[in-house]
C-alpha cells in the first residue's frame, strides 16, 4: 500500500438498485485501488475492491487482436451500419449519459434496442402499462411506512442495505422507533436469509403468487374466499385474512416485490395483481408498491429509453420511428428467433445468463462489446472495448430503484475510456455513414449545428 | 427424480461476479445446487457430489449441497444464476420478453 | 455560427414594440435581432406571410419524473402517432405525452421556441435537466415545487422568516429552477399521512398550526422581495371542485397587491356546491383579474379528446381516477411532493367537460388585458399543446365557435354566457397571449418581441383564412438565428438553452437544512444540489425589481 491515500466522501455504490450514496472510500491513488469502502455492504465491498485496473489489458480488440480505439470505433460503426437487424442490449451497468448515446446510435442505424429490464422487471413494466402503480421514493418508506411487505425477493442477499438504510430499521419522521414501529412481512417460496427480519413469514407453494394476490384483492374488497385456498396455494385463509386486516388498517403500507413474481408462471399477471392490490388498498389507507430493481442503473435505462422513445424497453426503429413489442423486440426473442444479425452489447453479459438457444445465436453473429472486464460475451466479440467503471472511475448519472437520480463521484482514474466516450465516437461515425447514404438519396439540409443527437 | 429448480441471486454470486465472471470462484458458485436433505438422501447424495440436471432444453452438471429442511421444501432446488442455469432455460417468452427463469421443471440424477 | 439573415416583405406582429401588422424588414446576426444586415446574407422573402416572435408557453408539463412516468404508462398513446426521424432529426413518438425529441420538434412545428415545465420536485430536478438536454430546438426552464416542502413548512411554523427566505433561494439555486411553484399548498400531508385525505379551505389549520393561506403569503412575499423575474406560480387549493372560485379569489387577495401568477385558472372558476355539478364563475374570476394588475394567469383551456392528467395535486388525481375508472399512478416524493397521473378523455356530451371548455373560452373572451390572461391548455391536462392552433381558431373565428357549440352538452352551455360572446381575437392579440404576454410575465425581456437585441426566435406563417391551418404549420421557424424549418421541412437540428435564475443566499443556510436531510431524506445532503454539468447551454435570467 502506498502512502498516498485519498478519501472520497459521499460516493455512490452502483452495484445494486439501492444505489447507496453514503460511501466513504479510501483510495490508494498510486495503486489505483479502493482499499476501504466504509458503509458498503458485502456486495458493495466486493464491487469497490475488485474493480482494479488491469493495466496491460488491451483497450480495444478486433477478433481478439489489439487495435487502436479509433480503428475499433470504425469497425464497430461499419459492422452496425451494414447489418440488417442490429440489436443494442444491456445498459443497466452504465451511466445515463452513455445510455442516451446508445439509444441515439440505435435510432440512427434503425436498429433494435432493449435493456436488461426485459429479463428482470420487464413484466412489471408491462403490468405498469396495464394498471398503473401507487408508489413512492424510499425516503417516504423510511419516514412513514408502518407495514412493510416483501414478496418474492431476498434483499438480505440481493440488496443487503435495503432493510437497514431504507425500509426496516431506520427511524423516520413518523416512525420514531424504527423497526419496532413497523410490521415486516416476507412472502417467499424459500425461507431465505431475509426471513429473520420478518415478523410474519408466509411460505406459499411455488408458482401460486397470482392466486394468493388475487385472493387478497377479493378479501380487501370484502368478498368471500373459500378455505380450500390453502390446498391450492399452501397458505391458509386465516393467514390471508390477518394480512388483509393489517394492510387495510396500517397508516402507510408498502409492498416491495422481486423477481420471484416476474420470472415465474404468471409473469406480468403476478406484477399486475400486486400493483392492483396496492391500488385497491388506497380506498382504505395510503398504500404504495415498488419493484426492488437489480443492477445499479437499470432504472436509469428505463427512464432514458422511455423519454427518448416513449417506451421502456424492447424498442425497434426499423421503420424510422420507435415501435414497442415485448416478445418480438426483446432480446431473448430477437436472438432465439434468429433475427438479429449484429449486436452492440453494453455492460452486460447475455452470453452467460440468457437461455441456451439465445446464446447459441449470439455466438453466431458479429458483436461489439463494451465491458470493464472480460466476460463470456466479450471473449468471442468481433469488436471488444475495455471501458472504465462507472462510479469508480467515471462520473455520470444513475437512477436509484425509486427513480431518484444521483451524480457519481469517481474515486480514481482509469487508463481506459468510459462507455459514453466510446459510444459517442460510434454515434458520430454511424451518423456520418448514414448521412452519406441519405445525401446519396437526395436529402437537403445542413449538418447539425449543436444537435442533441 | 423430478424437481423444481429456482435460480436466483445469492450474496456469494454477487461478490464473486465482481471478481470476474470467468474466474473460478464465480464458476464454482454458479455450479453449486442447494437441495433439501431428504431429497438428497433419496438420491443417496452427500455434500459435494455431482449431479446431472436435465430438461427438454438442455442439461448441466453441478455439485450439490444440503440446506436446512425448513428453508427449502422437498422437491425444490436452488442455484445461483449463471451459465449452468442458462443451459436449462427455455427461450420462449410467451410474448413477454421474459423467459421462465425461476420455477423450471427438471430431472435430477446422481452421477 | 448562426447565419446572418434578412426577412423582407412580411407583415410583422410585435406587440411589445407596438408593431401591429406593418410590413417591416427583420434582420438577424449572431442569433440576435439587429438593425440592419449586409446585402450578402440569406434573404427570406415573406411576402404574403405573417411574422411573429417565436411562441412562449408559460405553463406546460414536458419533462421530468411525472412526465416520464406518464410516457411509460401509455404505449397506446404513442402507437397511433409516430414521429419519424429525418436525416437531421431524431425519431420519437407523440400522443398527449410525446417523447422528448418529438416534444421539441413539435413545439417548433407550431412556431413555439420557448416552453416552461410547470412542476418539478427538487429531487427530480436532475432528471428534468437530463430530459431537457434531449428536448431539441426550444429554450426551456422549470418551476420547482416548494409549497408542500416539509422543511420550509417547519421554518414557517416556527416563524423563522429570514431562514425561510434563505432556504427558498438555496432550493432554487440548488435545482437550477426558474421560479417557485405552489401546488395545493398544505394538501400533501393529509394525503400521505392521513389516509388519503385533503385540505378543503384556504384557512384550514393543519396539525402544525399552518394554513394554505399562510404558506402562499410567505412565498409571495419572498419571491417579490427578491425580484424573481416570474412570481410564484400558483395552483390553488380545491382544483376542479364545485365552488372553488371562492378559494381562487381568496388566493389572489392573499397576494395583497404583490405579483402572483395563477395557473390554469379555468380549473379554479367553478361555482355550485361540492359534490354537485358546478356552474360557471368565469365572470367573477376574470373581473378580479381585470381589475388587479398584480395578477397574471394562464387559462388552462380544456380541449375535447384525449388528455393526460398529471399533477403534483395527488388527491385531485385520485378523484379523477374515480371518474375514469382506468389506470392510475400515484408517486410520493419524500419531504417534497405528491403526484398523480390519470389518462383522461374530455367528451362533448358530458356536462362537466362542456362546462370546463366553455369557462375557458369565457375567460379568454371576457379578458380586458391580454397581456395578463395567457394561452395554455395546462398541457397535457386540459389537452395537448398540439391543439393550440384549434384553440386560436376558436378565439379568432366566432363562426367556428358557433359550429363547435352545437356539438356540446347544451345543459352546460346555457349555464354560461359563451353563446352571447361575439368577440374575436385579432392577430395582434394572439401574438400577445402566445408570445409577448408570457415573455413579459416571465421577465424574459429578449423573448416574445422582435426589437433590436432580442433573441432571433422567429416564426413566419402563411397568412391564411383558416387560423387553425395557419398556426398549425409555419413556413419558416428560426431559433437563435438558425433556420430550423424551411418550407415546412426540418433543415437542421438545434439544442435550445436552459433558462434559470440564481438568487444569492447565505451559505450558512446549508447548515440549517443539512441536519433535516440527514434525518429524513434518503440521499446524502452533499449529493442533492445539481451541479453545473447538467446545465449544458444555459442562460441565467437576472433578478428584477424588488417589491414588498
CA separation for the pair B40, B52 (Å, rounded): 13
Average pLDDT for residues C473-501, to the nearest whole number?
A: 96
Average pLDDT for residues C141-169, to the nearest whole number?
A: 98
What percent of chain A has pLDDT above 90? Answer: 92
Classify residue A43 by burial, with Cβ atoms within 10 Å: 0-12, 13-18, 19+: buried
Q: Minimal Cα–Cα distance from A443 to chain B, Å? A: 37
Chain C, window 174-193: residues with a beta carbon less than 8 angstroms from a chain A beta carbon? 191-193
Classify residue C197 by burial, with Cβ atoms within 10 Å: 0-12, 13-18, 19+: middle
Residue C207: the pLDDT is 85
Give the residue ranges of DSSP H helices in A310-365.
331-336, 350-353, 356-362
Q: Give yes or no for a contact between A383 and A62, defined as CB atoms under 8 angstroms apart.
A: yes
* A355 → closest Cβ in B81, B99, B103: B99
Using the Cβ of C425 and the Cβ atoms of chain A, whether some distance falls under 8 Å is answered with no
What does the pLDDT look like over A290-345, one tens digit per residue? 999 988 999 999 999 999 999 999 999 999 999 999 999 999 999 999 999 999 99
Among residues C103, C175, C253, the alpha carbon closest in space to that of C503 is found at C175
Banded pLDDT at A451 (limits 50, 70, 90): very low
Nearest 10 degrees: Cα torsion C454, C459, C460, C464: -130
* A375 → closest Cβ in B19, B21, B102: B21
Residue of B86, B94, B97, B106 to mutate for A, most A C-beta atoms under 10 A = B97
Chains C and B touching, counted as 3 or more CB pairs less than 8 Å apart: no
Using the Cβ of B76 and the Cβ atoms of chain A, whether some distance falls under 8 Å is answered with yes
Name the pairing type of β-strands A286-291 and A252-257: parallel
- Give ipTM to 2 decimals: 0.97
For residue C13, is it within any domain?
Answer: no
Q: Is the pLDDT of residue A447 over 80?
A: no
Q: Do A353 and B85 count as a contact with CB atoms less than 8 A apart?
A: yes
Among residues C384, A264, A303, the alpha carbon closest in space to that of B101 is found at A264
CATH-assigned architecture of domain A122-291: 3-Layer(aba) Sandwich (3.40)
Nearest 10 degrees: Cα torsion A154, A159, A164, A167: -70
Classify residue C455 by burial, with Cβ atoms within 10 Å: 0-12, 13-18, 19+: buried
Q: Is the pLDDT of residue A452 over 70?
A: no
Q: How many domains does chain B have?
A: 1
Numbered ranges of CATH 3.40.50.740 in chain A: 60-119+297-440
CA separation for the pair C196, A279 (Å, rounded): 12
Among residues C456, C450, C451, the alpha carbon closest in space to that of C4 is found at C456
CA separation for the pair C223, C503 (Å, rounded): 10
* B8 → closest Cβ in A154, A268, A314: A154
Minimum CA–CA partner of A127 in chain B: B96
CA C356 to chain centre: 18
Q: Give yes or no for a contact between A260 and A212, defined as CB atoms under 8 angstroms apart.
A: no
**Secondary structure (H, E, C), C71-88:** HHHCHHHHHCCEECCCCC
Nearest 10 degrees: Cα torsion C302, C308, C311, C313: 80
Q: Minimal Cα–Cα distance from A329 to chain B, Å? A: 8
Distances (CA, A) of A151 to A199, A213, A244, C23: 14, 10, 15, 70
Chain C positions in Cβ-Cβ contact with residue A317 (cut-off 8 Å):
85, 91
- Residue A283 makes CB contacts below 8 A (sequence gap 6+) with none
Q: Is C65 helix (H, G, I), strand (E, B) or coil?
A: helix
Q: Is the pLDDT of residue C3 over 90?
A: no
Using the Cβ of B22 and the Cβ atoms of chain A, whether some distance falls under 8 Å is answered with yes
Banded pLDDT at C235 (limits 50, 70, 90): very high
Minimum CA–CA partner of A248 in chain C: C195
CA separation for the pair C336, C521 (Å, rounded): 10
> What count of residues does chain B have?
111
Q: Do C333 and A321 count as a contact with CB atoms less than 8 A apart?
A: no
Among residues C133, C236, C234, C229, the alpha carbon closest in space to that of C178 is found at C229
Q: Is the pLDDT of residue A52 over 90?
A: no
Minimum CA–CA partner of A371 in chain B: B20
Encode A78-90: b = buried (16+ Cβ within 10 Å), e = exposed: ebbbebebbbbbb
Q: How many domains does chain C have?
A: 1
Q: Is the pLDDT of residue A441 over 80?
A: no
Chain A positions in Cβ-Cβ contact with residue C75 (cut-off 8 Å):
129, 310-311, 324
Cα-trace Rg, chain C: 22
Q: Give yes or no for a contact between A316 and A109, defined as CB atoms under 8 angstroms apart.
A: no
Structural domain harbouring C294:
55-443
| Average pLDDT for chain A | 95
Q: Is the pLDDT of residue B4 over 60?
A: yes
CA C190 to chain centre: 27
Q: Is the pLDDT of residue A453 over 70?
A: no
Banded pLDDT at A443 (limits 50, 70, 90): low
Q: Is the pLDDT of residue C509 over 80?
A: yes
Minimum CA–CA partner of A399 in chain C: C127
What does the pLDDT look like over A210-223, one tens digit per residue? 999 999 999 999 99
For residue C469, is it within any domain?
Answer: no
Count of CB pairs separated by less than 8 Å, A with B: 156
Q: Is the pLDDT of residue C111 over 70?
A: yes
Average pLDDT for residues A354-358, to the nearest whole number?
A: 96
What does the pLDDT look like over A60-75, one tens digit per residue? 999 999 999 999 999 9
Nearest 10 degrees: Cα torsion A358, A362, A368, A374: 80
What does the pLDDT look like over C390-429, one tens digit per residue? 999 999 999 999 999 999 999 999 999 999 999 999 999 9
- CATH number for the domain that contains residue B56: 2.40.40.20
Q: Do A327 and B97 count as a contact with CB atoms less than 8 A apart?
A: yes
Q: Grid coordinates representing C269?
A: 372558476
Chain C positions in Cβ-Cβ contact with residue A144 (cut-off 8 Å):
192-193
Using the Cβ of B27 and the Cβ atoms of chain A, whether some distance falls under 8 Å is answered with no
Chain A, window 378-407: residues with a beta carbon less than 8 angstroms from a chain B beta carbon? 379
CA angle A399, A403, A409 (to 5 degrees): 25
- Residue A378 makes CB contacts below 8 A (sequence gap 6+) with A345, A349, A351, A369, A371, A384
Q: Do C133 and A452 count as a contact with CB atoms less than 8 A apart?
A: yes
Cα-Cα-Cα-Cα dihedral sign, residues C105, C107, C111, C113: negative
CA angle C11, C15, C21 (to 5 degrees): 20
Banded pLDDT at A236 (limits 50, 70, 90): very high
What percent of chain B has pLDDT above 70? Answer: 100
* A10 → closest Cβ in C83, C97, C527: C527
Residue of A302, A321, A420 to mutate for C, most C C-beta atoms under 10 A = A321
Q: Do A10 and C491 count as a contact with CB atoms less than 8 A apart?
A: no
Structural domain harbouring B106:
2-94+102-110
* C91 → closest Cβ in A107, A130, A133: A107
Residue A358: the pLDDT is 97
Q: Minimal Cα–Cα distance from A354 to chain C, Å? A: 26
Q: Grid coordinates representing A156?
A: 438480505
What does the pLDDT look like over C523-535, one tens digit per residue? 999 999 999 999 9
CA separation for the pair B65, B36 (Å, rounded): 9
| Average pLDDT for chain C | 97
Using the Cβ of B66 and the Cβ atoms of chain A, whether some distance falls under 8 Å is answered with no
* A191 → closest Cβ in B21, B70, B88: B70
Residue A46: the pLDDT is 95
Cα-trace Rg, chain B: 14
Using the Cβ of B49 and the Cβ atoms of chain A, whether some distance falls under 8 Å is answered with no
Residue A1: the pLDDT is 58
Q: Is the pLDDT of residue C1 over 50?
A: no
Using the Cβ of A226 and the Cβ atoms of chain B, whether some distance falls under 8 Å is answered with no
Q: Do A307 and C78 count as a contact with CB atoms less than 8 A apart?
A: no
For residue C43, is it within any domain?
Answer: no
Residue A444: the pLDDT is 60
Chain C positions in Cβ-Cβ contact with residue A143 (cut-off 8 Å):
334-335, 520
Q: Is C260 helix (H, G, I), strand (E, B) or coil?
A: strand
Minimum CA–CA partner of A234 in chain B: B73
Q: Do B6 and A190 count as a contact with CB atoms less than 8 A apart?
A: yes
For residue C285, is it within any domain?
Answer: yes
Fold of A60-119+297-440: Rossmann fold (3.40.50)
- Residue C15 makes CB contacts below 8 A (sequence gap 6+) with C428, C431, C432, C435, C436, C449
Average pLDDT for residues C320-326, to the nearest whole number?
A: 91
Residue A448: the pLDDT is 42
CA separation for the pair C490, C472 (Å, rounded): 15
Nearest 10 degrees: Cα torsion A32, A35, A41, A47: 20
Average pLDDT for residues B78-98, to the nearest whole number?
A: 93
Name the pairing type of β-strands A367-371 and A383-386: parallel
* C123 → closest Cβ in A319, A404, A434: A404
* A21 → closest Cβ in C87, C95, C527: C527
What does the pLDDT look like over C247-288, one tens digit per residue? 999 999 999 999 999 999 999 999 999 889 999 999 999 999
Give the residue ranges of DSSP H helices in A286-379.
298-309, 331-336, 350-353, 356-362
Using the Cβ of B96 and the Cβ atoms of chain A, whether some distance falls under 8 Å is answered with yes
- DSSP H or E stretch at residue C411: helix C410-413
Q: Minimal Cα–Cα distance from A136 to chain C, Å? A: 4
Report long-range pairs for A430-439 (Cβ below 8 Å, ≥24 apart): A430/A77, A430/A80, A430/A81, A430/A105, A430/A108, A430/A109, A431/A108, A433/A77, A433/A78, A433/A81, A434/A81, A434/A108, A434/A109, A434/C87, A435/C87, A438/C87, A439/C87
What does the pLDDT look like over A22-32, one tens digit per residue? 999 999 999 99
DSSP annotation of C491 reads -
pTM of the model: 0.97
Q: Do A263 and B15 count as a contact with CB atoms less than 8 A apart?
A: no
CA separation for the pair A344, A382 (Å, rounded): 10
Using the Cβ of C195 and the Cβ atoms of chain A, whether some distance falls under 8 Å is answered with yes
Chains B and A touching, counted as 3 or more CB pairs less than 8 Å apart: yes
Q: Give yes or no for a contact between C417 and C355, defined as CB atoms under 8 angstroms apart.
A: no
Residue C2: the pLDDT is 60
Chain B positions in Cβ-Cβ contact with residue A264 (cut-off 8 Å):
100, 102-103
Which of A343-357, B17-31, C20-34, C301-315 comes out lowest in average pLDDT?
Answer: B17-31
Q: Minimal Cα–Cα distance from A290 to chain C, Å? A: 10
Amino acid at each position: 500500500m502506498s502512502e498516498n491515500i485519498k478519501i472520497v466522501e459521499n460516493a455512490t455504490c452502483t452495484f445494486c438498485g439501492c444505489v447507496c450514496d453514503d460511501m466513504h472510500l479510501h483510495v490508494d491513488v498510486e495503486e489505483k485501488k479502493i482499499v476501504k469502502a466504509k458503509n458498503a455492504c458485502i456486495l458493495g465491498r466486493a464491487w469497490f475492491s475488485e474493480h482494479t485496473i488491469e493495466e496491460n489489458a488491451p483497450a480495444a480488440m478486433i477478433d481478439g487482436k489489439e487495435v487502436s480505439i479509433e480503428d475499433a470505433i470504425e469497425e464497430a460503426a461499419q459492422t452496425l451500419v451494414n447489418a440488417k437487424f442490429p440489436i443494442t442490449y444491456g445498459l443497466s451497468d452504465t451511466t445515463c449519459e452513455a445510455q442516451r448515446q446508445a439509444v441515439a446510435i440505435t435510432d440512427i442505424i434503425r436498429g433494435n434496442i432493449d435493456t436488461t429490464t426485459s429479463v428482470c422487471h420487464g413484466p412489471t413494466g408491462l403490468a405498469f402499462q396495464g394498471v398503473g402503480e401507487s408508489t413512492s421514493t424510499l425516503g417516504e418508506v423510511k419516514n412513514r411506512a408502518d407495514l412493510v411487505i416483501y414478496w418474492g425477493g431476498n434483499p438480505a442477499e440481493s440488496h443487503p442495505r435495503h432493510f437497514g438504510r431504507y425500509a426496516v430499521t431506520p427511524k423516520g419522521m413518523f416512525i420514531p422507533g424504527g423497526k419496532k414501529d413497523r410490521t415486516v412481512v416476507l412472502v417467499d417460496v424459500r425461507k431465505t436469509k431475509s426471513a429473520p427480519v420478518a415478523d410474519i413469514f408466509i411460505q406459499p407453494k411455488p408458482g401460486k403468487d397470482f392466486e394468493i394476490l388475487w385472493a387478497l384483492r377479493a378479501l380487501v374488497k370484502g368478498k368471500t374466499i373459500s378455505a380450500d385456498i390453502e390446498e391450492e396455494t399452501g397458505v391458509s385463509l386465516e393467514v390471508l385474512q390477518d394480512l388483509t386486516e393489517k394492510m387495510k388498517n396500517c397508516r402507510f403500507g408498502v409492498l416491495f416485490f422481486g423477481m420471484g413474481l416476474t420470472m415465474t408462471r404468471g409473469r406480468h399477471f403476478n406484477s399486475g395483481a400486486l400493483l392492483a392490490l396496492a391500488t385497491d388498498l388506497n380506498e382504505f389507507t395510503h398504500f404504495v408498491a415498488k419493484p426492488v430493481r437489480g443492477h445499479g442503473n437499470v432504472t436509469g435505462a428505463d427512464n432514458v429509453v422511455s423519454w427518448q422513445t416513449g417506451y421502456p424497453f424492447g424498442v425497434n426503429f426499423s421503420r424510422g420511428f420507435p415501435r414497442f413489442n415485448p416478445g418480438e423486440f426483446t432480446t431473448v426473442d430477437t436472438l432465439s428467433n434468429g433475427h438479429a444479425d449484429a449486436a452492440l452489447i453494453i455492460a452486460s453479459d447475455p452470453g452467460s445468463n440468457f437461455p441456451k438457444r439465445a446464446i447459441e445465436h449470439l455466438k453466431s453473429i458479429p458483436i461489439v462489446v463494451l465491458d470493464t472486464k472480460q466476460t463470456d460475451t466479450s471473449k468471442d466479440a468481433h469488436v471488444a472495448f475495455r471501458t472504465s467503471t462507472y462510479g469508480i472511475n467515471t462520473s455520470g448519472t444513475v437512477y436509484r430503484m425509486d427513480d431518484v437520480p444521483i451524480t457519481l463521484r469517481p474515486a480514481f482514474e482509469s487508463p481506459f475510456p468510459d462507455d459514453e466516450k466510446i459510444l459517442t465516437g460510434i454515434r458520430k461515425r454511424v451518423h456520418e455513414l448514414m448521412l452519406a447514404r441519405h445525401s446519396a438519396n437526395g436529402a437537403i439540409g445542413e449538418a447539425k449545428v449543436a444537435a442533441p443527437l | 427424480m423430478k424437481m423444481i429448480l429456482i435460480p436466483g441471486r445469492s450474496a456469494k454470486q454477487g461478490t464473486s461476479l465482481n471478481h470476474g465472471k470467468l474466474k473460478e470462484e464465480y464458476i464454482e458458485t454458479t455450479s453449486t445446487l442447494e437441495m433439501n436433505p431428504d431429497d438428497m438422501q433419496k438420491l443417496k447424495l452427500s455434500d459435494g457430489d455431482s449431479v446431472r440436471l436435465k430438461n427438454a432444453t438442455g442439461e448441466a452438471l453441478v455439485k450439490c449441497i444440503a440446506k436446512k429442511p425448513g428453508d427449502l421444501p422437498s422437491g425444490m432446488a436452488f442455484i445461483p444464476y449463471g451459465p449452468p442455469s442458462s443451459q436449462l432455460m427455455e427461450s420462449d417468452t410467451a410474448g413477454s420478453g421474459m423467459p421462465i427463469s425461476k420455477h423450471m421443471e427438471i430431472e435430477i440424477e446422481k452421477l | 455560427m448562426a447565419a446572418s439573415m434578412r426577412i423582407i416583405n412580411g407583415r410583422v406582429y410585435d406587440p411589445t414594440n407596438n408593431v401591429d401588422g406593418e410590413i417591416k424588414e427583420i434582420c438577424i446576426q449572431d442569433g440576435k435581432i439587429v438593425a440592419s444586415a449586409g446585402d450578402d446574407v440569406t434573404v427570406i422573402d415573406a411576402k404574403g406571410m405573417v411574422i411573429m416572435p417565436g411562441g412562449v408557453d408559460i405553463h406546460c408539463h414536458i419533462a421530468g419524473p411525472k412526465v416520464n412516468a406518464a410516457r411509460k404508462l401509455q404505449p397506446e398513446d404513442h402507437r397511433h402517432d409516430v414521429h419519424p426521424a429525418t436525416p437531421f432529426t431524431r425519431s420519437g413518438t407523440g400522443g398527449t405525452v410525446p417523447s422528448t425529441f418529438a416534444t421539441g420538434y413539435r413545439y417548433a412545428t407550431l412556431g413555439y421556441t420557448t416552453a416552461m415545465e410547470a412542476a418539478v420536485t427538487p429531487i427530480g430536478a436532475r432528471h428534468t435537466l437530463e430530459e431537457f438536454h434531449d428536448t431539441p430546438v426550444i429554450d426551456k426552464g422549470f418551476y420547482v415545487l416548494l409549497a408542500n416542502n416539509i422543511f420550509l413548512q417547519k421554518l414557517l411554523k416556527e416563524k423563522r422568516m429570514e431562514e425561510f427566505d434563505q432556504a427558498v433561494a438555496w432550493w432554487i439555486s440548488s435545482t437550477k429552477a426558474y421560479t417557485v411553484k405552489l401546488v395545493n399548498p398544505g394538501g400533501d400531508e393529509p394525503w400521505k399521512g392521513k389516509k388519503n385525505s385533503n385540505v378543503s379551505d384556504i384557512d384550514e389549520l393543519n396539525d402544525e398550526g399552518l394554513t394554505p393561506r399562510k404558506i402562499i403569503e410567505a412565498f409571495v412575499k419572498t419571491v417579490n422581495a427578491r425580484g424573481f423575474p416570474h412570481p410564484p406560480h400558483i395552483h390553488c387549493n380545491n382544483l376542479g371542485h364545485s365552488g372553488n372560485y371562492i378559494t381562487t379569489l381568496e388566493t389572489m387577495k392573499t397576494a395583497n397587491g404583490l405579483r402572483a401568477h395563477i395557473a390554469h385558472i379555468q380549473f379554479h372558476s367553478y361555482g355550485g356546491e361540492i359534490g354537485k355539478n358546478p356552474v360557471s364563475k368565469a365572470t367573477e374570476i376574470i373581473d378580479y383579474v381585470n381589475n388587479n394588475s398584480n395578477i397574471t394567469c394562464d387559462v388552462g383551456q380544456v380541449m375535447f379528446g384525449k388528455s393526460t392528467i398529471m399533477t403534483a395535486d395527488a388527491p385531485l388525481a385520485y378523484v379523477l381516477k374515480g371518474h375514469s375508472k382506468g389506470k392510475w399512478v400515484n408517486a410520493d416524493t419524500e419531504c417534497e411532493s405528491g403526484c398523480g397521473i390519470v389518462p383522461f378523455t374530455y367528451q362533448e356530451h358530458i356536462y362537466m367537460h362542456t362546462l370546463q371548455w366553455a369557462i375557458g373560452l369565457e375567460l379568454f373572451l371576457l379578458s380586458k388585458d391580454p397581456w395578463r390572461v395567457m394561452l395554455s391548455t395546462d398541457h397535457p391536462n386540459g389537452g395537448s399543446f398540439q391543439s393550440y392552433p384549434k384553440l386560436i381558431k376558436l378565439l379568432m373565428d366566432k363562426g367556428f365557435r358557433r359550429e363547435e357549440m352545437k356539438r356540446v352538452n347544451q345543459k352546460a352551455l346555457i349555464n354560461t354566457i359563451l353563446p352571447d360572446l361575439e368577440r374575436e381575437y385579432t392577430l395582434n392579440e394572439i401574438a400577445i397571449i402566445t408570445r409577448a404576454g408570457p415573455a413579459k410575465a416571465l421577465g424574459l425581456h429578449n423573448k416574445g418581441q422582435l426589437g433590436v437585441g432580442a433573441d432571433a426566435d422567429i416564426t413566419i406563417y402563411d397568412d391564411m383564412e383558416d387560423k387553425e391551418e395557419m398556426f398549425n404549420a409555419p413556413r419558416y421557424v428560426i431559433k437563435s438565428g438558425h433556420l430550423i424549418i424551411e418550407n415546412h421541412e426540418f433543415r437542421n437540428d438545434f439544442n435550445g438553452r436552459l433558462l434559470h435564475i440564481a438568487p444569492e443566499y447565505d451559505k450558512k443556510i446549508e447548515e440549517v437544512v443539512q441536519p433535516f436531510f440527514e434525518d429524513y431524506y434518503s440521499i446524502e445532503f452533499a449529493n442533492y444540489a445539481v451541479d453545473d454539468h447538467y446545465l449544458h447551454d444555459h442562460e441565467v435570467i437576472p433578478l428584477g425589481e424588488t417589491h414588498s
